[in-house]
Chains A and B, each alone.
Chain A
């Protein structure tokens, strides 16, 4: 009798606790994978159809016809069959037809669209940071490395076992060198140089801590911003927060000799320099530069131009003259410069002002042809809500960027095709095993980076470096 009562009570509680999903907002296809160009090695584009019960997906290509089924609103493509299809249909446009039966009234719906399978693959790995989009406080931060061909991932950093410290971007040059900044009392920059890990203290008597950076193609040098970063809050709530540099300069780190150098042309108080990146041949450094104004009061006057300075890979020194190559004007400020590995393009984020476009909803990606200096404002890629922090694939055919277009607060990694002639494809969000992950997460995916070889360390190694390894001091080289 007792056991019956317990079972009855448990059942009642269970029934009361079960939540009947009423995804009123998930009507239609989520994510939107209609009419996109996809890499030939991308993980299955699993999607949901709101309120659907049974789903049938028919894909017609030049090499054959492929049928897939989904249920309970979710289409999960079998990995092997998916990759077989992409392999067979490289360079082809696929006609995709989706039919579904709705829950409840069992009415039928359908949709059709195309997928163009590019013959160009995307780099196999992507790293991104998972962080709450709170203004200035974080709790759990993780740096995750995702395999782009499937759904597996590993953690490169997890601040739970590193004093809950802040972890910055993981940056790779796709050639055996990568770095990740760990802040906090025992922090430092973890450098992976040809399979050997070291922890660096990049601050010297003459130069500050390194922040945003890029690695030269041969992996020997890193160019970084050193900045005093602070923030202020906008009284208008939709503008949220403004992060700005009170001062910022550039430095170059020689990873072989563990030295840091600067240049009078990228130091000093008259200008603020930030977001540097190497050109494909490693002989030029692109960076953003603005005349100094008192901030935050005059922050709307901070318009960063795109400038260049020469770099000598033999001596590891920057030149002594910086030249502005793209003027921002009064309503634009550039940031997040990234040169394509083929040397053809420079992609930048354009916001209205300032140096932290992540909270600027108007932020867009712009593509600059380095041969003609022509600028494409990429209307096919950009959307309202902040498109920022892009990264090129090693073959220069794909960019990944963090976009807040879906809900204006939480960033998601979007992938877009860039053709050799500059033609671009409609961006699509990084596929997930269950796309619901994007709906229920309270983390932003930010600072996405593409690279070809997996990182050699994981979160436990990073924690050991944080906790147990003394940083090697980088020396200032005049």
Chain B
């Protein structure tokens, strides 16, 4: 291969890496950041035991160590691209090793990087998997240097399972590459490599892993990862790239610009589009991350953006609840639906753990520390690596809120050994020692209930009723409870709860939201009852006028109801008359 071609290859590789960096940095920063939130790098005795009792020892340690830096999106993108560069360099080196006398197409080494770039944009795809791939390809390079002898065959047989121990399931990639490079050296190396692959599967069993888990490790199936079939195919894709590069070398060497670049481009589009077009996933991670960092202004800005999403609406309501405006803003974000879609999240086993993580933000605001603890423990438990710095912080916070300082200290003692959370943990430990608990935690503490009652896990309304009955001035809890019945169009229950918690109670210290006043008028069916309702609930002149306008419009207008009520947009009347779904008693 000529100097010119090499220089073109170099610039092409640099271009691919640069574009990868730009895309990762600009389109997936929060997904990369999230990796740090759901992992930990900790050299504690228990963590070391965990590393030792699982394959991919080196890849896991190195991957977890690198993941610490993913908290910074510039570093995250840079480190990812650095690993990609290592993969490309290793593959390029392997191409040359495989066919030293023939020109090869080094550019094709970008194909696995395209896949890896796609994989790494998934929030749970661990950095250790990319490290494992890098390590495997470089190991294959090193092993390919061995001259054929009985000793080298023995080494192949041992190296593949050994590589599994240090790099994980990508040892299969190394085995396939080795088999390819040794394909002309007779049957002995093939048998040896095949024996190594068989040993790898046996070893997986010794680690108490299923075959599927063995091939994927350190990726844990069942999380927000790339499709598992694609991960399993990855070693074969690399092998295919290898064959392609060598078999069609002449054609490609002459016309790479005309053939390969478009091919790569075509291959890259669906991957890039899927990875970087996954805007909803990025936004889901982003909004939760902003809340985690207490950047509530940004959370609200994002939640009020034009494209409502499931978690955006949830956070829209959390932001408003924090400011005491839950009911005022409930219908102002377009994404109308049931309470289970707008206010509450489901947290049973099998639900996305985003729900468990994010729900704690709302539950703490409501004063439902009991369910917040449950959610935080659940989220911590179902994490792929069983350690989440984000959930450890939340658990420590909850323990401080409840005054369980021994529990808080347990979590803080773990966090204090991490790079990113050391200062935070030390500050909180100091606060505990000095009995100077931060104001936010004291506020949450003041909302906890004094008396003990039981409720079924996940039954948020029962739990809110308990909180509201014991702390009637906990406006966030009361508003969440009332709004949940409004969204479900259960006006009768709303009115009975309003009578219990707002009438002559909360309404004396806060102004009653228009939404509640509108809902209180829904069941009015005569002039007498209108007067009675207006008087009983002190309906404001503004709401009364709006209501009368609506009645007049309906009386003298033959247009469809939806058109009429559109004029009353953003009122509860519009919501209850136009929004359609099943199971409402007042529809």
Contact = CB atoms under 8 A, between A and B. Distances in A.
Interface stretch (B21-29, B131-139, B266-274, B409-417): B409-417
- Which of B381, B386, B470 counts the most chain A CB atoms within 10 A? B381
B530 to A, nearest CB: 39
B382 interface: yes
Nearest to A24: B429
Contact of A137 (B378, B406, B409, B422): B378
Interface stretch (A237-245, A257-265, A329-337): A237-245
Interface stretch (A12-20, A248-256, A320-328): A12-20
Nearest to B398: A237
Given A237-B369, A406-B406, A440 B42 contact: yes
B380 A460 contact: no
B380 A134 contact: yes
B452 A21 contact: no
B213 interface: yes
Interface stretch (A109-117, A213-221, A428-436, A446-454): A428-436
A17 B374 contact: no
A338 B579 CA distance: 61
Contacts of A460: 205-206, 208
B454 A299 contact: yes
Contact of A139 (B43, B381, B414): B381
B404 A238 contact: yes
Nearest to A14: B65
Interface in A404-450: 406-410, 432-437, 439-443
Nearest to B410: A407
A459 B370 contact: no
Interface string A229-240: 001111111111
A198 to B, nearest CB: 22
B419 A16 contact: yes
B496 interface: no
A463 B410 CA distance: 33
Chain A interface helix/strand/loop/mixed: loop
Interface residues of B, number: 63
A137 B455 contact: no
A440 B47 contact: yes
B41 A439 contact: no
Contact of B419 (A17, A160, A239, A410): A17
B339 interface: no
A23 B448 contact: no
A237 B381 contact: no
Nearest to A130: B46
Given A407-B409, A408-B404, A17 B69 contact: yes
Interface residues of A, number: 60
A132 B208 contact: no
Contacts of A136: 457
Contacts of A123: none
A409 B451 CA distance: 22
Given A232-B454, A233-B455, A234-B452, A437 B46 contact: yes
Interface string B60-87: 0000010011000000000000000000
A208 to B, nearest CB: 22
A132 B381 contact: yes
Contacts, number: 167
A445 to B, nearest CB: 11
B421 to A, nearest CB: 10
A233 B370 contact: yes
Interface string B452-467: 1111110000010011
B426 A22 contact: yes
Contacts of B377: 132-135
Nearest to A297: B454
B68 A17 contact: yes
Contacts of B378: 134-135, 137
A235 B454 contact: yes
A296 B374 contact: no
Contacts of B429: 24-25
A461 to B, nearest CB: 11
A436 B46 CA distance: 7
Contact of B455 (A135, A232, A406): A232
Contact of B418 (A16, A19, A135, A459): A19
Contacts of B349: 137
B208 A155 contact: yes
B402 A238 contact: yes
Given A155-B208, A235-B455, A440-B45, A407 B419 contact: no
Contacts of B426: 22, 24
A439 B387 CA distance: 14
A19 B43 CA distance: 9
Nearest to A157: B208
Nearest to B214: A161
B371 interface: yes
Interface in A149-180: 155, 158, 160-161
A314 B405 CA distance: 55
B373 interface: yes
A440 B44 contact: yes
Contacts of B404: 238, 408
B44 A236 contact: no
A442 B457 contact: no
Most chain A beta carbons < 10 A, residue from B210, B410, B412, B429: B410
Contacts of A231: 457
A409 B407 contact: yes
B71 to A, nearest CB: 12
A435 B45 CA distance: 8
B413 A135 contact: no
B569 interface: no
B45 A434 contact: yes
B464 to A, nearest CB: 10
Contacts of B456: 232-233
Contacts of A22: 416, 422, 426
Given A134-B377, A139-B381, A235-B467, A242 B454 contact: yes
Interface string B110-127: 000000000000000000
B362 to A, nearest CB: 16
B147 to A, nearest CB: 27
A137 B378 CA distance: 7
A442 B387 contact: yes
Contacts of A441: 44, 46
Contacts of A137: 349, 378, 381-382
Contacts of B49: 437
A1 B294 CA distance: 43
A140 interface: yes
Given A134-B380, A137-B378, A440-B44, A236 B370 contact: yes
A237 B402 contact: yes
Nearest to A443: B46
A28 to B, nearest CB: 14
A159 to B, nearest CB: 9
Most chain B beta-carbon neighbours within 10 Å: one of A21, A136, A236, A432 = A236
A161 B383 CA distance: 18
Contacts of A23: 413, 416
B497 interface: no
Interface string A117-137: 000000000000000111111
Interface in B439-457: 448-457
6 contacts: A161-B209, A233-B374, A235-B463, A238-B404, A406-B410, A442-B414
Given A22-B416, A22-B422, A440-B413, 8 more contacts: A23-B416, A132-B386, A135-B374, A135-B377, A235-B470, A237-B448, A439-B413, A440-B45
Interface of A: 13, 16-26, 132-140, 155, 158, 160-161, 231-242, 296-297, 299, 385, 406-410, 432-437, 439-443, 459-460, 463
Interface of B: 41-47, 49, 65, 68-69, 205-206, 208-210, 213, 349, 369-371, 373-374, 377-378, 380-383, 386-387, 398, 402-404, 406-407, 409-410, 412-414, 416-419, 422, 426, 429, 448-457, 463, 466-467, 470
Nearest 3 Cβ contacts at the A-B interface:
A440-B44, A441-B46, A434-B45
